[in-house]
Structure 1
Amino acid sequence: MKTLLLTFECPPDVTGGGLCTYVQEYIAAKIERREPTVILTADFNVQDEVCTYFGCVKVIRFNPSAGDSFKYMGHWAAMSYEFSNQVKKIITDGFQPDWLEVCDGFGLGYFTLQRKLCLEAPFTDLKVLVTAHTPVTMIDEWDKKNIYELPTYFTKYMEQFCFMAADKVISPSNFLKKKLLTEFLEKNVPIDVIPNPYEKPFVPSKTGTDAAESSPLHDIPDYAIASRVCYWKGIDHALAGFDLYWSNGGQSSLYVYGSDTQYFKNNQSFKETLSTKYQQWIEKGLLKFAGLKEHSEILLIKKQLKALFHPSLCENYPYSVIEHMADGGIVAASLSGGQAEFISDTENGFLFDPHSPQSVQNAILKIDALNDAERHAIAQNAMTTIEKTCSYASVMTQKELALTAAEQQSARATFPFTSGKELTHPAAQASAGLTVIIPHYNLGTLLVEAIESIKFSSLPNIKILVVDDGSTDKESIIILKTLEARYADLKVLYKKNSGVAETRNIGVQHATTEYIALLDADDLVCASYYEAALKILNRYSNVGFVGAWNEDFNQTGRLRLWPTFNPEIPLQMIMNTTNCQGLVVRRDAYLAHGQHDPELGMFLDDWEATISMVLNGVRGVMIPHPLFKYRIREESIFRDKFRMFNINYNYIIDKHQDKLSGTYGEIIKFLNANGPNTQYHNPTFPPERNTHPEPAQTAAPQHAEGRLVQLAHKYYDRVNQPGAIRDLRIGLRKLGAGQLMSRLRK
């Protein structure tokens, strides 16, 4: 089975740690099975990319910062996007995997999955496996960190989405599976439980100088904890048990090996906090915080211990425990974790309740009392357990059977939203068409550019309905008449001035196609936008509207990219994550739940419409490419009416308060963590960095499209960029709209 594995940790650059050890064992298992495999990992120290070969396994290290994503997204969102670009490159270069596997941490597979589900080639045919190692935001919550701070809050969404969107999810333990389903995911996901692979490496016998290197080390404790000094690892809980043991006369020592963290209760060093608390045992030489050691040194230390303690309050499937048991070491571990599924108390190790100091003390006393024969028997049982449970043959066979079964599943008919209500929409007719609704008021010259962008669309037979909101500018009126005469598929509906919200609604009411697209008269669309949007709407019965990333521009050209994201409540209520002014929507869904509210006075009406749709189960998908071009004008409504934000936002909250009642707690926690929602617009950045960057001329990634469409798109971009061609076009308009339009009629 050919596989492509995405990981943010890979040996030998990183050693120790669960994910790194998994990748190491994964490579070894693939080599043993002679299965062609590509490992893709990030390395900010390489120039572009570096390839290393281990038999049938190719490891590609690439520098994510070589891409543009970090200019408009925070670290992990940008990492995910750059990984997806590399996946596209690997497949395009000829390696077509049977399965792509990605770890769950930081939502690394988010954009690969989003692009796959948005039906972008070559992602469409990918089968994606998410292997659970414990989402980092779930660990953050266990460690009492504030997961409502940006970008952590959005990272959690990315991680949740990966589980929902994957073709298969595998967890190494029932413990982690239960935690995911009851504490992390808001909707049910089928999860198979398959242990992680591990085989004890063959180490040739050493003599002479080499033997001296493995001789007993000085200053070796009786017991050790090899872990970060943090809350969720249960260090304090274990020390409470050792404190009881020492207070009762116990003499066995404990060393803690690992890096320090901040303690959530006092925001101080956790090591210093514990050192102060248990100072008497440190002074007596029974307790020592020995700091971070190299993985190789830890392995030597562990060989000489009475037992390795692993007191985590929650744990997935700890490789540190597996390694020690496979090496014939004795482990005393917490009952709260995947390790309790392969440790039988007193038979191949010891288990204790981390919340009970008495239970911890009992485990210490049992181990202290072991004779050599008992120690040998437990060690042999431990090695046998790991060999049977984690051998490459056993684990990889189980995984292959699970993936083969998953390949028989039919194509996904619904989009995987992470939370909230979802309406199912009737299947569209084969001839379902699209009408672009353009509200217009005195913007004739810019309207021409908007129409031109539609005409370059790769989607054929688009209807255009311009709704004029009582324009008073003579030039604009002439242009409207001329455009209507020029294009058979363009109609103009004239009405008295009543505002953009009602104007959009009237346009949708008069449309006759199943799908409609919103487009302001001064905005533009890229050639592939509408075709890509309709593919998504036609594929997924629970998707009611589709959008894309924004490319902001003004009279000088491109300013910036603004990434958009699938709207979920309550985040969409706090900040707009869609290009709400340019969505492609099912007409019936718009009329039922998405009509723009005239009470908002042309400000936030489009955002409120998306909130209304999502709250009522009309769900949206954002294509992760800048296919919508949003014009920034000094005189635009948004820039001029920003002072109205609080007034209109209060109105929106009042309007939807019944449906929002279950989310107020989360909204309050979010606002407490990040400040008022006028201070940020991009959920992938922390609030202090959440301002629009200075305008920059940057190349924007493009959605996959045919060669002819690409050429048309390039031409369209060229004529709308600053330069002689655009100056000529604008100059011709300024010569006299009446003369110019009269010529166009001929």
Structure 2
Amino acid sequence: MRVWIVTSELPHEHAGGIGRYVDNFARTLGAAGHEALVLYRSATDTDDRPAPGVRTVGFATRDARLAEGGAARPDEHPAFPYNLLSFGPALAYQTGAELFRLLESGAERPDIIEVQDYAALGYFLLQRKLTESGPLDDIPIVVHMHSAQFDLMQVNQWPRYRFPEYWLGQMEKFCLRAADAVLSPSEFLRSEVQRSLGRDLEISVIPYPFIADYEREPEPGQTGELLYVGRLEYRKGVMGLVQTCARLWDEGLDFRLTMLGGDTDFAPRCKTIGTLLRERYARWIECGRLNLAGTVPFDEVAMHMRRAAVTLVPSLWENFPNTSIEAMAAGRVALVSAQGGQAEMVAEDGRNGFIFDWNTPGDLERQLRRVLTLTPDERVAIGRRAQERIRSLCDPQRVLPRRLEHYEKVRARHLPRLLFPTTTPADLLPPPPPAEPGPQEEPDLLSVVIPFYNLGAYVDETLASVLNSA
């Protein structure tokens, strides 16, 4: 089968979970005798063959040419469409144009195209498939869910209705509705998206394939060494994690938490998460209990993981995180939250790893105490079962047949759409308000708007004051 994968990242340029998945899946396809072409955003225009059966085509974004002039029309500007659109929609537009260029260049046509949900990368591709008669007529497009911005912004407490972010979220929703098929790596992610877009949205669930040495002998790690790998991001649960660890340190428990990963902004406080952690927990950083190590090379991540007794995945919302896959594949003990696909990986608390629930007060603290008392032999035994469990889910030899079967089903049922998709299905639209009898307004009334932020305790007093002033 010939599969084209459209992505915003590959791991040699962007260290993200989507890139890791694409790299693993493309190599899995190529090793099995299929053909994988990966079209991706790159620093420069590239065309490489990194593995048997795998071709990667990178394109440089045109936003670097915004300062250039000399164009008579906006669509003739060398930076087009970045001179007209914000970066996300412009990248989606350029991605669609680059894919059409490949189709028209004589490259062998794909049997199927897969594109990520994040940043609505397939938006203009799907628009052209729905509105034009052309090379995409008989090629199904599958949208693979990872983490859409319309979900991430809500969990990260970003202003979701600010432009252009709001429209990018709407574009992501359109892609999920307009795709010929939608694929998710976890049941959690499927249920979250169906809650937003409607239960009628059909989503298949197949875990990520992950290439690893599943026969590696587990190691116990160093007692008292805890590791977090990922961005310092609010939705990753890092604030609650460090707060819980600080309570245990205050009690005198002896352990160290190392956190690897880049920093991110936290909009409600106009600061980064790293800044907040350094301000609030400076004394634990100074005494060496908390180590904010920042971004490190990938081979150093593996070294830290081998040294740690327990790897933590404390997300408030998650898809199917690579950190959890990597830890379990390496035979490490993982303590994960219930809010994501990582809980589906562990499945049995206390056997393949440990699960806590953010919705249960004190549950993280209880489980931290539990894992800190494990003996080296117990950690090795749990790590071995973790390897077996994650292999049953993510071994490419088990995942690939399911993926190919899914592709074949999508191809077999592929037909032109009769109705143009909408982002909000009819069953989610609010009913129209009932008609009010009589006039809609009363004369001589004054409307009072009371804005408040973090001042809820004063709302009742303010309302009473307004009413008493009449």
- For residue 85 of structure 1, what is the aligned residue in structure 2? 97
In the aligned structure 2, how far is the partner of 1:163 from the partner of 1:39?
A: 20
Say if 2:116 is the partner of 1:103.
yes
Q: Give 2:407's aligned amino acid.
A: L
Structure 1 position 376, deviation (Å): 1.5
Q: Which has the larger radius of gyration?
A: 1
Structure 1 position 252, deviation (Å): 0.8
Q: How does 1:369-448 map to 2 (within 5 A)?
A: 369-409=373-413, 410-419=415-424
Q: How does 1:222-371 map to 2 (within 5 A)?
A: 222-343=225-346, 344-356=348-360, 358-371=362-375
- For residue 32 of structure 1, what is the aligned residue in structure 2? 31
Structure 1 position 58, deviation (Å): 0.6
Q: Give 2:12's aligned amino acid.
A: P
- For residue 507 of structure 1, what is the aligned residue in structure 2? none
Checking the alignment, whether the CA contact within 8 Å between 1:255 and 1:289 is kept in structure 2 is yes
Query: Which deviates more, 320-329 or 399-408?
Result: 399-408
Checking the alignment, whether the CA contact within 8 Å between 2:27 and 2:52 is kept in structure 1 is no
Secondary structure of the residue that 2:362 maps to in structure 1? Answer: helix
User: In 2 relative to 1, CA 337–387 (structure 1 residues): closer, same or farther, beyond 3 Å?
Assistant: same
Long gaps (5+) in structure 1: 206-216, 423-568, 571-614, 616-656, 658-746
- For residue 198 of structure 1, what is the aligned residue in structure 2? 210
Checking the alignment, whether the CA contact within 8 Å between 2:48 and 2:55 is kept in structure 1 is yes
Structure 1 position 53, deviation (Å): 4.4
Checking the alignment, whether the CA contact within 8 Å between 2:112 and 2:411 is kept in structure 1 is no
Checking the alignment, whether the CA contact within 8 Å between 1:80 and 1:111 is kept in structure 2 is yes
Say if 2:174 is the partner of 1:161.
yes
- For residue 551 of structure 1, what is the aligned residue in structure 2? none
TM-score by length of 1: 0.52
Structure 1 residues 483-518: Cα deviation after superposition (integer angstroms, max 9, x where no partner): xxxxxxxxxxxxxxxxxxxxxxxxxxxxxxxxxxxx
Structure 1 position 162, deviation (Å): 0.7
Higher RCO structure (Cα 8 Å, ≥6 apart): 2
- For residue 7 of structure 1, what is the aligned residue in structure 2? 7
- For residue 587 of structure 1, what is the aligned residue in structure 2? none
- For residue 125 of structure 1, what is the aligned residue in structure 2? 138
Structure 1 position 49, deviation (Å): 4.1
Structure 1 position 88, deviation (Å): 1.4
In the aligned structure 1, how far is the partner of 2:345 from the partner of 2:189?
A: 14
Checking the alignment, whether the CA contact within 8 Å between 1:326 and 1:386 is kept in structure 2 is yes
User: In 2 relative to 1, CA 73–265 (structure 1 residues): closer, same or farther, beyond 3 Å?
Assistant: closer
In the aligned structure 1, how far is the partner of 2:302 from the partner of 2:254?
A: 24
Say if 2:75 is the partner of 1:75.
no
Structure 1 residues 53-85: Cα deviation after superposition (integer angstroms, max 9, x where no partner): 422111001123266322322212221122112
User: In 2 relative to 1, CA 357–403 (structure 1 residues): closer, same or farther, beyond 3 Å?
Assistant: same
In the aligned structure 1, how far is the partner of 2:343 from the partner of 2:309?
A: 20
In the aligned structure 2, how far is the partner of 1:201 from the partner of 1:122?
A: 41
Secondary structure of the residue that 2:307 maps to in structure 1? Answer: coil
In the aligned structure 2, how far is the partner of 1:115 from the partner of 1:108?
A: 13
Structure 1 position 220, deviation (Å): 11
Percent identity between the two aligned chains = 28
Structure 1 position 243, deviation (Å): 2.2
Q: How does 1:489-568 map to 2 (within 5 A)?
A: none
Secondary structure of the residue that 1:6 maps to in structure 2? Answer: strand
- For residue 62 of structure 1, what is the aligned residue in structure 2? 59
In the aligned structure 2, how far is the partner of 1:374 from the partner of 1:64?
A: 50
Over the aligned positions, Cα root-mean-square deviation in angstroms equals 2.7
In the aligned structure 1, how far is the partner of 2:345 from the partner of 2:279?
A: 36
Structure 1 position 269, deviation (Å): 2.9
- For residue 128 of structure 2, what is the aligned residue in structure 1? 115
Q: Give 2:2's aligned amino acid.
A: K
- For residue 460 of structure 2, what is the aligned residue in structure 1? none
Checking the alignment, whether the CA contact within 8 Å between 2:187 and 2:205 is kept in structure 1 is yes
Structure 1 position 187, deviation (Å): 7.0
Secondary structure of the residue that 1:254 maps to in structure 2? Answer: strand
- For residue 176 of structure 1, what is the aligned residue in structure 2? 189
Structure 1 position 179, deviation (Å): 0.6
Checking the alignment, whether the CA contact within 8 Å between 1:244 and 1:358 is kept in structure 2 is no
Structure 1 position 359, deviation (Å): 1.6
In the aligned structure 1, how far is the partner of 2:36 from the partner of 2:300?
A: 31
TM-score by length of 2: 0.82
Checking the alignment, whether the CA contact within 8 Å between 2:27 and 2:51 is kept in structure 1 is no
Checking the alignment, whether the CA contact within 8 Å between 1:310 and 1:332 is kept in structure 2 is yes
- For residue 188 of structure 1, what is the aligned residue in structure 2? 200
Checking the alignment, whether the CA contact within 8 Å between 2:143 and 2:175 is kept in structure 1 is yes
Q: How does 1:689-704 map to 2 (within 5 A)?
A: none
Structure 1 position 285, deviation (Å): 2.2
User: In 2 relative to 1, CA 370–49 (structure 1 residues): closer, same or farther, beyond 3 Å?
Assistant: closer
Checking the alignment, whether the CA contact within 8 Å between 2:223 and 2:376 is kept in structure 1 is no
In the aligned structure 1, how far is the partner of 2:292 from the partner of 2:354?
A: 23
Secondary structure of the residue that 1:69 maps to in structure 2? Answer: coil
In the aligned structure 2, how far is the partner of 1:316 from the partner of 1:200?
A: 20
Structure 1 position 240, deviation (Å): 2.5
User: In 2 relative to 1, CA 108–224 (structure 1 residues): closer, same or farther, beyond 3 Å?
Assistant: same
Checking the alignment, whether the CA contact within 8 Å between 1:6 and 1:40 is kept in structure 2 is yes
In the aligned structure 1, how far is the partner of 2:223 from the partner of 2:379?
A: 19
Secondary structure of the residue that 1:9 maps to in structure 2? Answer: coil
Equivalent pairs counted in the alignment come to 411
In the aligned structure 2, how far is the partner of 1:186 from the partner of 1:347?
A: 35
Secondary structure of the residue that 2:82 maps to in structure 1? Answer: helix
In the aligned structure 2, how far is the partner of 1:373 from the partner of 1:139?
A: 39
User: In 2 relative to 1, CA 31–249 (structure 1 residues): closer, same or farther, beyond 3 Å?
Assistant: same
Structure 1 position 204, deviation (Å): 11
Checking the alignment, whether the CA contact within 8 Å between 2:184 and 2:205 is kept in structure 1 is yes
Checking the alignment, whether the CA contact within 8 Å between 2:309 and 2:379 is kept in structure 1 is no
Structure 1 position 421, deviation (Å): 5.4
In the aligned structure 1, how far is the partner of 2:274 from the partner of 2:238?
A: 10
Structure 1 residues 556-583: Cα deviation after superposition (integer angstroms, max 9, x where no partner): xxxxxxxxxxxxx99xxxxxxxxxxxxx
In the aligned structure 2, how far is the partner of 1:157 from the partner of 1:62?
A: 25
Long gaps (5+) in structure 2: 63-77, 433-439, 441-470
Q: Give 2:57's aligned amino acid.
A: I
Checking the alignment, whether the CA contact within 8 Å between 2:231 and 2:264 is kept in structure 1 is yes
In the aligned structure 2, how far is the partner of 1:220 from the partner of 1:301?
A: 13
Structure 1 position 304, deviation (Å): 0.6
User: In 2 relative to 1, CA 20–313 (structure 1 residues): closer, same or farther, beyond 3 Å?
Assistant: same
Q: Give 2:61's aligned amino acid.
A: P
Alignment partner for residue 50 of structure 1, among 47, 56, 63? 47
In the aligned structure 2, how far is the partner of 1:11 from the partner of 1:196?
A: 15
Checking the alignment, whether the CA contact within 8 Å between 1:238 and 1:357 is kept in structure 2 is no
